[in-house]
Structure 1
Amino acid sequence: MKKRVLAYGRLSEDQLAQLAREFEVQTFSDLTSADDPAFRAALPGAHGLIGSSLAITPELLDSAPDLEVIASISVGVDNYPIDELTRRGILLCNTPDVLTETTADTGFALIMATARRVVELAEWVKRGDWQASIGPEHFGSDVHGKTLGMVGFGRIGAAVARRGALGFGMKVLYSNASPKPALEAELGAERRELAELLAEADIVCVTVPLTDETEHLIGEHEFALMKSTAIFVNISRGKVVHEAALIEALEMGRIRAAGLDVFEQEPLSPESPLPHMRHVVALPHIGSATFETRTAMAQRAVDNISLALKGQRPISLVNDAAWRPS
């Protein structure tokens, strides 16, 4: 008897066919809530879940006693109760590596667009307001040769820093739980405590994962430490930043500008002032949103769940303590 997989992520026909050759697959298109009646009804017989952006709770797990693995089509795993999954022996897999470079591209695009006021001035041209040569009121800031402060220096943080150091001659600072000697040698990067980094950097880019320790890591105190000319970029998770403090820092001129791909509430509330500020570039969480990368992420998730349900170790296992070799 084939094991059952519930698929609620964006998988191609070929990827679904790959799963269907080995497992019984039930698909849920455009699933937005775990409370969907059809999804709930299917949980008792499910051995695997594959998808993203669905909050998994212990109560939901109670409805899936046969569950062996969850393959998330994402790097972030803040939607999952990892300790509870491990206690129950349920494997959690994610998709690191395949989206590193694409997300770093997005981060550096935000750095460039924000520093050079690309979106603001493109809209200015569209409105027909370009009637004469621009003056200082429309000038932006150079990126080359500036100091880039990376808050977080994992795969994505290092990839952003590599673009800055090698492509734009930027000095790289990083704050991280542990030293990164190889990256220091490669990029000339220097480790700083967070407060020192914020005070020195011309551009601050956040790439840390969301955890209990990093929630609201950047708030009123941290914005007060930054230069008044600083540009702030967030491509990690919205809740890493205290959004009200960010808005106040922008309104009061404590920092110059912000480039944001993530927000505390997503989709962004229509009441938020952020997308209407001329010195803010706001994107709809597009960090990994390219055809190539999303296809690769989905394939990694398919490979993860296939291996796990056949008793083999997945490629990208989050909770190693749940792994029990056959």
Structure 2
Amino acid sequence: MEEEKPWVLISEVGGDHGYLAELADIVKQHFHIICYKELLENPELYGPKVQALLNWKFCPVVEPELLRLLPSLKVVASGGVGVDHLDVPFINSLGVKVANTPGVVSDSTADLAMALLLASARRILEGHQVAIDPKTVLIPQRLMGVEVTNASLGIIGMGEIGHKIAQRAKGFDMKIVYHNRRRRSAEDERAVGAKFCESLDELLGRSDFVMVAVKLTAETRGLIGHRELSIMKPTATLVNISRGQVVDQNALVDALQSGRIRAAALDVTHPEPLPRDHPLLGLPSVLITPHIGINTFTTARRMVERMVRNARAAVEGSPVPDEVKLQ
């Protein structure tokens, strides 16, 4: 029955931070939807009804002020893998579970990682701009890129996404090395032809392309800084699809301006978007996309379906399939 559906809080339908209509329809099959703006307009009416919060593209921001308005909340179901935007211990202290959507985003993120690598290597964006420029009458010879086939790829963080990146890189006959907290199994390594580097420094010194695919933690914040960039080859490219805070952006600007590395391709920055006068935006050797690793219709639909599944389980008192449990 329609009136028996539980209530869920979302950001909005449509808008810059909201759900596409077809995605909102998935939620509506299982929940009464309350949008963040509606909640703020009448918190006394809607707050006590909300049992689940769907955190899509980091919105609505899950902060103590919001949680105090939701006394019946049972779960914060977040889309994506990373939960660095959530204070999981604090949320759990309120008796509220946290869930994410592992695995769902891996293929689309790995696809974009390779797209960034290829586009940067072959200077696709610059080529496009030349091709459409009304002043272009001759194709300049200066658009020389670097080879991807047979190049060395160093993957920092060989989790599910890192392993899928390696699968794709194998198709380009790339020489794959990786560094991870724990070494993958010999079977996993053989499947993609990857070799383990005991140290990050070893990987940085060997790689033509350095791919950062780690979770943001206290240990990985600022993982790539001045020292690490100085170890990379001057012909190397840094690709970051993890979180912007993993790379010291000031150090990256210095490395690019001084020619210590060739280029950078970033799907993530800090903040997002960058201030319009940020020096990274003016460097021709930098390619930036606006955190679109998961932005495909297929992945978005699967994410919302998984968020709904987690939220329903929590509301019904069943085990939450993708509950985040910090060690």
TM-score, normalised relative to structure 1: 0.89
Structure 1 residue 189 and structure 2 residue 197: aligned? no
Structure 2 gaps, min length 5 = 12-17
Q: Which runs of 5+ in 1 are unaligned?
A: 322-326
Pair 1:48-2:56 in alignment: no
What corresponds to 1:123 in structure 2?
129
Partner residue of 2:251?
Answer: 245
From 10, 17, 26, the equivalent of 2:19 is 10
| Counterpart selection for 2:104 from 93, 98, 102 | 98
- Helix, strand or coil for the counterpart of 2:250? helix
Q: Structure 1's 241 and 39: CA in aligned 2 closer, same or farther, altered over 3 A? A: farther
CA distance in 2, matches of 1:267, 1:174: 29
Aligned position for 2:302: 296
> How far apart are the structure 2 equivalents of 1:130 and 1:313?
61
Q: Which residue of 2 aligns with 1:170?
A: 174
1:204 is matched with: 210
Three-state SS of the structure 2 residue aligned to 1:255 is coil
1:2: Cα distance to partner? 5.5
Corresponding residue to 2:146 among 141, 144, 149: 141
Residue of structure 2 equivalent to 1:19: 30
Mean Cα deviation higher: 237-246 or 47-56: 47-56
Q: How does 1:196-235 map to 2 (within 5 A)?
A: 196-235=202-241
Between the aligned residues of both structures, percent identity stands at: 38
Report if aligned partners of 2:222, 2:245 keep a CA contact under 8 Å in 1.
Answer: yes
How far apart in 2 are the matches of 1:243 and 1:45?
43
Contact 1:202 / 1:227 at 8 angstroms: preserved in 2? yes
Distance 1:162 1:129 in 2: 41
- What displacement does 1:39 show? 7.7
Shift of residue 291 of structure 1? 1.2
CA contact (8 A) 1:120 1:279 kept: no
CA distance in 2 between counterparts of 1:216 and 1:152 reads 14
Write the distance in 2 (CA, Å) between the matches of 1:38 and 1:145. Answer: 58
Check 1:66–1:144 CA distance in 2 against 1; reply closer, same or farther (3 A cut). Answer: same
1:77-134, Cα deviation, whole Å (9 max, x unpaired): 1111111223333111111211111111100000000000110121122224554454
Secondary structure of the structure 1 residue equivalent to 2:176: strand
What is the Cα deviation at residue 258 of structure 1? 0.7
TM-score by length of 2: 0.88
Change (3 A) 1:62 1:37: closer
Could you tell me how far apart the structure 2 residues matched to 1:2 and 1:117 are? 51
State the number of aligned residues.
311
- What amino acid is aligned across from residue 37 of structure 1 in structure 2? L
Q: Deviations over 1:221-254 (max 9, x none)?
A: 1111100000110111111111111111111101
Q: Kindly tell me: are residues 13 and 82 of structure 1, through their superposed partners in 2, closer, same or farther at Cα, counting changes over 3 Å?
A: closer
